[in-house]
Copies of this chain bind each other. A is one copy, B any other.
């Protein structure tokens, strides 16, 4: 039987992951805030760079965001000059979202911020421990069907 002498409940690994994940997400949000973007913006930026001339619908389904919310997010980013809406020549129902020069620059800054965030967050661990943690997390993520590079924190709860 588990040791529960009085009321001292040692949290399990899943709870620790929740704590750490929330903390990591918050710190990343703080890192990119000076760039004028939020985590959803960052996800869009990455995806638009990976899939050029992508419709809003595809972005929405890939990121798990509702189309109606995507409209607002794209509005914001277009207003900042990070990307442009371009009517598709073949299907005039949808847009092709394209990165501007400023958008590409912001993406590069965002990736630098992500790298620095990663380094800082894992700094309490030795390089060997960092590698071990990463391997274990990759194994877990694979088994839980998490999409490469897209975190499920954009939709519902």
Could you list which residues of chain A lie within 8 angstroms of chain B, going by C-beta atoms? 7, 9, 11-26, 28-29, 46, 49-50, 111, 114-115, 117-118, 121-122, 124-125, 129-130, 132-134, 136-144, 146, 148-149, 151-153, 157
Q: List 19 interface pairs A-B (beta carbons < 8 Å), by A numbering.
A: A13-B130, A14-B28, A16-B134, A16-B141, A17-B21, A17-B24, A18-B21, A18-B25, A18-B151, A20-B137, A20-B141, A20-B146, A21-B22, A22-B22, A124-B140, A125-B140, A133-B133, A133-B136, A136-B136
Chain B residues near A130 (CB-CB < 8 A): 13
- This chain: how many copies in the complex? 2
Given known contacts A7-B49, A125-B136, A136-B132, is B15 in contact with A114 (CB within 8 Å)? yes
CA distance A20 to B13 in the complex (A): 11
Q: Is the CB of B137 within 8 A of A17?
A: yes
How far, in Å, is A46 (CB) from chain B's closest CB? 8
